[in-house]
Amino acid sequence: MALPIMAKATAVWLVDNTTLTFKQISDFCGLHELEVNGIADGEVAQGIKGFDPIANNQLTREEIKKGEDKPIHKLELMYYAAAEGEQKRRGPRYTPLSKRQDRPAAILWLVKFHPELTNGQVSKLVGTTKPTIMALRDRTHWNIANIQPIDPVALGLCKQLELDAAVQKAAKKKEKEGGVMSEEERMKLLSTEQSLHMPEEPKVPGALSAFENFTLSDEPKKEEPIIDADSLFNLPKDGSEKE
């Protein structure tokens, strides 16, 4: 189902200016009904200005009137013949200005710890261009000396599920190509969920198991000389008689 542009702002306008039910607004805007309820309570979409769907040719007044009169009526988005067959714009994802300075560190982390990822996958994960990725792969980036690799998930540039999906896709592609992966590479290709369910590492080998529970108390004790307390006080006096 096609959704209106600026869906959340449109929902804000419909909540403020119509008597449509939360269900009708959530279905039209592609939001959860509880999220629309939160907009009405002022807990969600604070600071977002309402976007008039009538003035922007997304709904007609008659369509809204039908919905207000009949709560089970589903609102229909206005049809644009010119938009028929329009494809979603492809390219790197949008990265907020506050996080753009972190992208080189995230790219360096990806090319270092997951070199199997293609430039296209890295570009989709952190929203960058292929020339920047190549410069960091080749270490010809102008600021390479000052860039430290940082996990893009920790930086908030992508989600862990997105990173795991890209890594798993790279693993399947390498298996189809007949590439042989080392144990280290195989560990890198494991998702977070898989790594958490792995068995524990083997303990100390049997030849050294005797030393595993060794403590100082197992050492043989040395016999200490018995000291008579009285002998400590029977010291020779000055000017004592010679035998």
Contact predicate 9/30, CB 8 Å: no
Query: How large is the greatest C-alpha to C-alpha distance in the chain, in angstroms?
Result: 135
Task: Give me the pLDDT at residue 199, please.
Answer: 52
Q: What is the pLDDT of residues 155-198, one digit of tens each?
A: 888 888 888 888 888 888 877 776 555 555 555 555 444 444 44
Using pLDDT thresholds of 50, 70 and 90, give the confidence band for residue 21.
Answer: very high
Domain ranges of the chain: 7-83, 91-196
- pLDDT at position 84 over 80: no
- pLDDT at position 135 over 80: yes
Task: Give me the pLDDT at residue 230, please.
Answer: 61
CA distance 234 to 228: 11
Q: Which region among 13-27, 104-118, 138-152, 222-236 has the lowest average model confidence (pLDDT)?
A: 222-236
- pLDDT at position 106 over 50: yes
Task: Give me the pLDDT at residue 108, please.
Answer: 93
CA distance 73 to 151: 47
Task: Give me the pLDDT at residue 201, please.
Answer: 47
CA distance 114 to 89: 27
CA distances from 112 to 2, 34, 65, 150, 151 (A): 40, 42, 58, 10, 11
Average pLDDT, the chain: 76
CA distance 69 to 84: 31
| Residue type at 41 in one-letter notation | D
DSSP of 12-25? HHHHHH----HHHH
Task: Give me the pLDDT at residue 192, please.
Answer: 47
| Residue type at 86 in one-letter notation | E
- CA angle 215/220/226 to nearest 5° reads 125
Q: What is the pLDDT of residues 195-216, one digit of tens each?
A: 444 455 444 444 444 445 545 5
